Structure 1
Amino acid sequence: MKKRFTQLRSVTLPSKSSKNTKKKLTLFALTWPIFIEFLLHMLMGNADTLMLSQYSDKSVAAVGVSNQIISVVIVMFGFIATGTAIIVAQYLGADDEKQANEVSTTSLSVNFIFGALLSLALFIFSEQILVAMGIPEELMPEALSYMKIVGGVAFIQALLMTASAIVRSHGFTKDTMYVTIGMNILNVIGNYIFIFGPFGLPVLGVDGVAISTVISRLLGFIVVLIILQKRVKGSLSLKVLFSFPMHHIRNLLKIGIPSAGEQLSYNTSQMVITFYIASLGTIALTTKVYTQNLMLFILLFAVAIGQGTQILIGHLAGAKKFDEAYTRCIKSLKLAIIISFSMGAIFYTFAEPLFRIFTSNEDIITVGKSLIFLTIILEPGRAFNLVVINSLRAAGDVKFPVYMGIASMWGLSVPIAYVLGIYFGYGLVGIWIAFIIDEWFRGIIMLIRWRSRVWENKSFTNKPDVLLEK
C-alpha cells in the first residue's frame, strides 16, 4: 500500500522553515499520521469501553448513550474546525499565509465562546436530554454523571479540534499524531487508576473514566497550542484574537455551518435510531456499542484517506489546479473502497474472538457477528461519503452534501430503521440494513456531483471577503 501511495501525485505545501521554501507531500505522507492519530482516538474510546466492560456491562451502555449525545455537541464544535481546515488550506494553496494565520486565530476565539455556551447547556440540561432519549432507568445515574463531567467541559474538545485542524492544514500531521499518542497513554493510565483502584486508591468507575477523558483532552490542547506557535510563525495574534474580524467569521460560517450540518444531521438521526434501539432493551443497546466500537477500526482507513485528500484538494483548489484535484479524489475513492471492503471481511472472519474481548454474553456475540457481516457491505458505501464529501467541502462545494445528507438520512435511514428494526421485528439487523441503504444512496449521488465538476466554480480567490460563490 505504501508503494502505491508514494506513486500518487504530490502537492506543494509550505515548509515550516521559510515562506518561500516548499516541500512535496504525497497522500501517503499526509494520511499515515492521520491514520495513526485517528486510530489512537479510537483506541482511547475502546480503552474506556474495554476497561469498563471489566467493571460492568451496564456502565458500558450508560457511557455509550452519553457519548452519543456528546458527539452531537462535538459535531457542532466541528463546524468551526472544519471551516478552519478548508479555509487555511486554500489560503496556503494561494500563497496567502497572512490571511491563513488570521483565520486560525479567529477560529480559536470563536470556538472557545461557542464551546463554552454549549458546554454550559449540556451540563444544565443533561438529565432532561437523557430522559428524552428514553434511556433505561437502571442506566440513568451513571449516564448522567458521565455527561455532566465530560459534557460540562466539552469546550476543551472544541479548542483541541480547532488547533489540530490548523496544524494538519499546514501539513504537520505527524505532530497531532504524537499528541494523540500522549493523550492515549494518559487516558489509559487514568482509567486504570480510577476503575481498578490500585494501591488502595478509591474506585470511581464511570466518574473516573470521565475525569481521565477530560484531563487527557486538556493536556492535549495545551501541547497542540505550543506546537502551533513553534511550527507556524505568527500563526496566532493577540490583536486578532480579541478583534473578531467579521469577514473571517463570515467565511468560517459560510463553510463551517453547511459542512457541520451534514454531520449534525447524521448524529441526530443516530440519536433517534438509538432511541429505537433503547426500546429493544439493554442487551440490544450494549450490542450496538460493542459493534460500533469494532466498526470504528474498519471506518478508520476511509476517514484517514478522506482527511488527507481534503488537505490536498484544499491546496489544489486554492491554487486553481482543478484537474489535479479531480483526479486526486477519484484515486482516493477507489483506494478507500478497496480497503474498507477488505477490512470488513477480515473483521468478520475474527468477529467472535473480537467480541469476546468485551463480553461473554452469547446473545450479544451472535447478533454482533451478524452486524459485522453486514458491515462488509456498509463500509464501502460509507467510503464514498467520507472521501467525496470531504473533497467537495475542500473545493468549496459545501451546501449540496448537506441537502442530500438530510434528505437521505431522514428520508431513508430513520424511517427504514424503524420499519425493519421495530415494526417488522428484525431488530439491529434491520437497522443495519437501513444504514446500508442510506450510505450507498448518498455515496452514489455525491460521486455524480463530483464528476459534474460544478465545484470548480466554488473555490475562493485570495481575497479574504470572497470565499464561496453561488
Structure 2
Amino acid sequence: MNATTANTWNRYYRPILQLGVPIAIGQLGVIIMGFADTMMVGRFSTDALAAASFVNAVFNLFVYMMLGYSYGLTPLISSLVGQGRRAEAGGTLKYGLICNLVFALLLMLILGVGYCFIDRMGQPAEILPLVRPYYLTIGASLLFVALFNALRQFTDGISETSTGMWVILVGNVLNIVGNFVLIYGVGPFPRLGLLGAGVSTLTARIIMAVIMVALLLGRKRYAAYRQGFCQSAVRTASLLHINRQSFPISLQMGMESGAFTVSGIMAGWLGAVDLATYQVMVTLGGLGFLLYYSFGSGITIRVAHFYGQNDWSSVRSTTRAGVFILLGMAAISSMIFYFGGEFIIHGFTSDPAVISLSLTLILPMILYQLGDSMQICFANALRGTSHVMAMMWVAFVSYVVVNIPAGYLLAFPCGLGVVGLYLAFSIGLILAASLFAWNFYKVMRIGCIGKRGNGVTG
C-alpha cells in the first residue's frame, strides 16, 4: 500500500468503518431479535405469525418514521462537536428530545385512531383476535422508542457509536429471554403466545431507554453536554429548526417503509400463507437494510464533519468510500440470502406452504440489494450536508408514485402475487438511488462553485 492509498484509507474508509461497525453490531442484534421473534411466533402457530406480520407491517412504518425523525439530530450534533461547541450540542439534544417525544405522541394518536378500523383492512378474520392485544402492546412502547432514538443519535453524533450498540444488545437479550418464557409459558409465567412477544418487546424498550438516560446523567465526560442541556432555554425557533431538519427525513423513511407496509397489507389480501411468507422474507431482508443503514450513519457523521469545515473535496471522497463499502455489504448480504436462505427459512416456520412460497422470493429479494444499498448511501450523504428537503420528494416519487402502484399491478392484474410485490421493491429502490445520487451531486456542484467564488481552494 503506497502513501496516497494509505492516506485515503485512513482519512475516508477507516472512520466510516470504525463508526459503522458498532452500529452494525447493534443492528445485528436487532436482526437477531427480529429473527427470534418471528421464529418463536412462527413455531407457535401460522395464525400468530400472520397476525405479527400485519401488526409489524403497520408499526414498522411509524417506527421508521420515528427513527428518521431522530436522524435529523446526528448531523447537527456532529457539526457542533467538530467545532468544539459542546454546550450548544447539549442544548440541541434538549430541543431534539422535546421534538422527538412530541412527534411520537402524535404518531401514537394516529395509531390509536387506526386501531378502531383494524377489522376494515381486509385481513383474515381468524387472526383479528390475535392482532388487537399485540397492536396495543407494541403501540405503548413507541414513546420509549422515541426517547432511546434521540439519545442514541446524540451519542452517535459525538462519535460514540458503541454506546448505542451495547444498550441495544442488552435490550435484545432481554427481549429474546422474555419471548421464550412468555410465548410458551415457561415455569411460573403464563402461556401468552403472540401477546407474550408484545409484552417482552415493551419491557425491553423501556429498559433500553432507562439505561441511556442513566448513562447520559452519570458519565463524567458528558458534563459539558449536560451543562448546555440544563442551561439552554426552550425557544420556538430552535424547536422549529430541529423539526425542519428532522421531518423531511422522517417522511422519507416513512414513505420507504410505507411501501413495505402497504405491500404487507396487500399480501394479506392474498391469504394467511402469503402474509406469513411476506413476514418471513421481510425479516430476512432486514439483514441487508440494517447493515446498510449502520454504515450509512457513519457516512452521515463524516460528511457532516467535513461539511461543517466547508471541505467539499473530503465530502466527495467520503461519499465515494461509502459507495464501495455499501456495495461490499450488498454483495455479502446477497451471498447470505442465496446460499443460506433456505436454511434460515426453515428456522422461521415448519409450514410447507410458507417454506415453498418463501423460496420463490429469494432471487427477487437479492435483486433489490443494489438499489437498497445505494439509495441508503446517497440519502445519508445528502443528510450529512443538511439538504434534506429533496429527500422527501425523492421518496414520494420512488415509493408512493412508483413502488406501491407497481406492486399492485404486478401482484394482482399480472398475477405474480407476493413475487410481484418484491419485484416492485427493486423498481422503487433503484429509482430512489438514482434520484438521491443526482441530488447529492447537485449539492456538490453548488457547494464547490460557492467555495471557488469565495476564493477558497482545496
* TM-score (normalizing by structure 1): 0.88
Is 2:392 aligned against 1:391?
A: no
2:215 equivalent in structure 1: 227
Per-residue CA deviations over 1:36-71 (Å, capped at 9, x if unaligned) read 011101111221111111211211121121122222
Per-residue CA deviations over 1:229-281 (Å, capped at 9, x if unaligned) read 31422324697599422222121111111111111112233332222211100
User: Which of 258, 266, 271 matches 1:276?
Assistant: 266
Kindly report which structure 2 residues correspond to 1:218-257, keeping only aligned pairs within 5 A, or say none.
218-229=206-217, 230=219, 231-236=221-226, 243-257=233-247
Task: Classify 1:449/1:109 alpha carbon distance in 2 versus 1 (closer, same or farther; 3 Å).
Answer: closer
Q: CA deviation at 1:197?
A: 1.5
Give unmatched runs, 5+ long, in structure 1: 12-23, 459-470
More moved, 358-367 vs 285-294: 358-367
Is 2:121 aligned against 1:133?
A: yes
User: Which of 316, 326, 333 matches 1:326?
Assistant: 316
Secondary structure (helix, strand or coil) at the match of 2:67 reads helix
Q: CA deviation at 1:452?
A: 3.1
Kindly report which structure 2 residues correspond to 1:31-430, keeping only aligned pairs within 5 A, or say none.
31-123=20-112, 125-128=114-117, 130-229=118-217, 230=219, 231-236=221-226, 243-430=233-420
Task: Classify 1:196/1:456 alpha carbon distance in 2 versus 1 (closer, same or farther; 3 Å).
Answer: farther
The count of corresponding residues between Structure 1 and Structure 2 is 442
- Determine if contact 2:80/2:88 at 8 Å carries over to the other structure: yes
Task: Classify 1:341/1:64 alpha carbon distance in 2 versus 1 (closer, same or farther; 3 Å).
Answer: same
Q: CA deviation at 1:120?
A: 4.5
Q: 1:178 & 1:445 partners in 2: Cα distance? A: 35
Q: 2:139 & 2:116 partners in 1: Cα distance? A: 12
- Determine if contact 1:347/1:372 at 8 Å carries over to the other structure: yes
Q: 2:99 & 2:290 partners in 1: Cα distance? A: 29
Q: 1:325 & 1:187 partners in 2: Cα distance? A: 39
More moved, 46-55 vs 90-99: 90-99
Per-residue CA deviations over 1:318-363 (Å, capped at 9, x if unaligned) read 1222211111111211221232133213321222221111122333
Q: 2:143 & 2:440 partners in 1: Cα distance? A: 34
Which protein has the bigger helix share?
Answer: 2
Q: 2:265 & 2:7 partners in 1: Cα distance? A: 45
Q: CA deviation at 1:204?
A: 1.1
Q: 1:457 & 1:401 partners in 2: Cα distance? A: 18
Secondary structure (helix, strand or coil) at the match of 2:387 reads coil
Task: Classify 1:343/1:78 alpha carbon distance in 2 versus 1 (closer, same or farther; 3 Å).
Answer: closer
- Tell me which amino acid in the other structure corresponds to 1:76: M
User: Which of 415, 427, 438 matches 1:437?
Assistant: 427
- Determine if contact 1:63/1:143 at 8 Å carries over to the other structure: yes
- Determine if contact 1:80/1:252 at 8 Å carries over to the other structure: no
Per-residue CA deviations over 1:413-434 (Å, capped at 9, x if unaligned) read 1111111111111111111111
Per-residue CA deviations over 1:277-303 (Å, capped at 9, x if unaligned) read 111001100001001111111333322
- Determine if contact 1:122/1:152 at 8 Å carries over to the other structure: no
1:14 equivalent in structure 2: none
Task: Classify 1:308/1:239 alpha carbon distance in 2 versus 1 (closer, same or farther; 3 Å).
Answer: closer
| Identical positions, percent | 21
Higher relative contact order (CA 8 A, sep 6+): 2
Q: 1:369 & 1:456 partners in 2: Cα distance? A: 47
Secondary structure (helix, strand or coil) at the match of 2:223 reads coil
- Determine if contact 2:303/2:315 at 8 Å carries over to the other structure: yes
- Tell me which amino acid in the other structure corresponds to 1:198: V
- Tell me which amino acid in the other structure corresponds to 1:50: M
Q: 1:211 & 1:148 partners in 2: Cα distance? A: 10
Q: 1:5 & 1:212 partners in 2: Cα distance? A: 47
Q: 2:160 & 2:225 partners in 1: Cα distance? A: 14
Task: Classify 1:238/1:31 alpha carbon distance in 2 versus 1 (closer, same or farther; 3 Å).
Answer: closer
Task: Classify 1:80/1:99 alpha carbon distance in 2 versus 1 (closer, same or farther; 3 Å).
Answer: farther
Alignment RMSD: 2.4
- Determine if contact 2:89/2:228 at 8 Å carries over to the other structure: no
Q: 1:116 & 1:345 partners in 2: Cα distance? A: 40
Q: 2:216 & 2:132 partners in 1: Cα distance? A: 35
Give unmatched runs, 5+ long, in structure 2: 449-458
More moved, 336-345 vs 449-458: 449-458
2:451 equivalent in structure 1: none
Secondary structure (helix, strand or coil) at the match of 2:234 reads coil
Q: CA deviation at 1:215?
A: 1.0
Secondary structure (helix, strand or coil) at the match of 2:368 reads helix
Q: 1:449 & 1:238 partners in 2: Cα distance? A: 35
Q: CA deviation at 1:304?
A: 1.5
More moved, 24-33 vs 201-210: 24-33
- Determine if contact 2:53/2:264 at 8 Å carries over to the other structure: no
